Amino acid sequence: MSELSISIDEDYSHLREPVRQLCKRFPGEYWRKLDAESEYPKAFVDALTEHEVLSALIPEEYGGAGLPLRAGVAILETIHESGCNAAACHAQMYTMGTLLRHGSVEQKQRYLPRIASGELRLQAFAVTEPTSGSETLKLKTFAARKGDRYVINGQKIWTSRALQSDLMILLARTTPVAEVEKRSHGLSVFLVDLRKAKGNGLEIRPIDAMINHNTTEMFFTDLEVPADALIGEEGHGFRYILDGMNAERILLSGEALGDAKYFLRRATEYAKQREVFARPIGQNQGVAFPLARAWAQTQAADLMVRKAAGLFDAQRECGAEANTAKLLASEAAWQAGDTCFQTFGGFAFATEYDIERKWRECRLFQTAPISTNMVLAFIAQKVLGLPRSY
């Protein structure tokens, strides 16, 4: 197998600068107001769509820019580094990949150009269930084939942006666990048209959460979807979802890196100008060293994110790297956030400084899309070959 070369110089500055300029139109007060009202950042998402940022990874033949995943990382990182939040729309970048890699030509032609133009939003990804949690293979939502339709029953939780999406990727069981050789078999992926499903077998309830993430729980009661909503082959859905999960982990690592860089910039600026005991607080090593450490951790995480994206773009196995990138970037963001919080003293608690909001938001990366323990279990078992704990 050929060596993987990762270009440190290719940083997509031509993509980052326009994104940076666009983000300037959405300052802290915009996000604070939405946060207080649990509102969706529609104007921000519309602006990203208009500037063709959200279609960056869609192939040119379907109306996108056809850029690699690494470019998506650069875009999301820049959004977060600028103090904005891409959670409202990032899913389009990885859910679209499931359709692109495993959908039929007809499905791709029908949906991708309209997703690229922003006419349709594919931003919801329904995997997690309340009873199975991290044990995805135990999910219970069932899609039964009835003639030219599937009838879906079950429940999902934490399906973010379901109320702001037109389309949703759904993972459901199509063959009962008792009838499959391996639990990873018998799961299928569907592209659900939420516009038709809502109120016709699908009920969506918002969850009031610590952060403004527009997340929901969903109840399926005899929801009928046409048989051509199935993506790829019936029963092979778990494999399709895994591809998408690696993309999701790498892209969200970019967001975590962006948060880490945001916190470092804010903390460093503040530490230089805030004077206590007649000198800038940053002159005290007790303030400076944690910032220096957070910078070093962020740099290390950045390299792993680049490696994971490089492997993904080369269509090479990248499970260990995608998970490790997510682990390191989420921890770098948290460390930088906590250090920034401490640097700002009492002012970190004042909402107008945006530190507490960003700090709350970046906590999510250690829990979703996969929690830290699950990443460590993956590394322990799959990379180090240690005995399985579950």
Ligand X SMILES: Cc1cc2nc3c(=O)[nH]c(=O)nc-3n(C[C@H](O)[C@H](O)[C@H](O)COP(=O)(O)OP(=O)(O)OC[C@H]3O[C@@H](n4cnc5c(N)ncnc54)[C@H](O)[C@@H]3O)c2cc1C
**How far, in Å, CA of 31 to CA of 221, rounded?**
36
Active-site residue 248, yes or no? yes
Q: Which stretch binds ligand X (CB under 6 A): 93-101, 297-305, 324-332, 363-371?
A: 363-371
Selected from 65, 144, 377, 379, the binder of ligand X by CB under 6 A is 377
Minimal distance, residue 261 CB to ligand X, in Å = 22
Closer CB to ligand X, 116 or 127, in the complex: 127
- What are the backbone dihedrals phi and psi of residue 130, each rounded to the nearest 5 degrees, phi first? -65, -35
Residue 284 is a binding residue for ligand X (CB under 6 A): no
Helix (H) / strand (E) containing 216: strand 215-226
Q: Which stretch binds ligand X (CB under 6 A): 58-66, 157-165, 196-204, 256-264?
A: 157-165
**How far, in Å, CA of 338 to CA of 22, rounded?**
27
Residue 215 is a binding residue for ligand X (CB under 6 A): yes
Burial 135-162 (b: 16+ CB within 10 A, else e): ebeebebbbeeeeebbbbbbbbbbbbbb
Residue 94 is a binding residue for ligand X (CB under 6 A): no
Minimal distance, residue 386 CB to ligand X, in Å = 13
Closer CB to ligand X, 21 or 373, in the complex: 373
Selected from 81, 308, 364, 365, the binder of ligand X by CB under 6 A is 364
Closer CB to ligand X, 83 or 244, in the complex: 244
- Of the candidates 77, 81, 217, 248, the residue annotated as catalytic is 248
Q: Which stretch binds ligand X (CB under 6 A): 1-9, 28-36, 207-215, 257-265?
A: 207-215
Residue 125 is a binding residue for ligand X (CB under 6 A): yes
Nearest residue to 114 via CA among 102, 124, 106, 122: 122
Residue 158 is a binding residue for ligand X (CB under 6 A): yes
End-to-end CA distance of the chain: 33
Selected from 34, 127, 191, 241, the binder of ligand X by CB under 6 A is 127
Which residues have CB under 8 Å from 354's CB, separation 6+?
28, 31, 32, 83, 266
Nearest residue to 288 via CA among 270, 314, 312: 270
- Number of residues in contact with ligand X under rule CB under 6 A: 23
Residue 160 is a binding residue for ligand X (CB under 6 A): yes
Residue 367 is a binding residue for ligand X (CB under 6 A): yes
Closer CB to ligand X, 232 or 369, in the complex: 369
Number of H helices, E strands in the chain: 12, 10
Nearest residue to 323 via CA among 341, 336, 304, 297: 304
Closer CB to ligand X, 214 or 343, in the complex: 214
Q: Which stretch binds ligand X (CB under 6 A): 92-100, 125-133, 272-280, 325-333?
A: 125-133
Nearest residue to 57 via CA among 233, 229, 189, 250: 250
* Token output for 303: 């390299």
Name residue 319's amino acid: G
Q: Which stretch binds ligand X (CB under 6 A): 64-72, 158-166, 172-180, 264-272?
A: 158-166
**How far, in Å, CA of 390 to CA of 378, rounded?**
11
Residue 390 is a binding residue for ligand X (CB under 6 A): yes
* Token output for 351: 């909402």
* Token output for 275: 């004077």
Closer CB to ligand X, 62 or 365, in the complex: 365
For the annotated catalytic residues, the residue numbers are 248
Residues that bind ligand X (CB under 6 A): 125-128, 133-134, 158-160, 209, 213, 215, 364, 367-371, 373-374, 377, 389-390
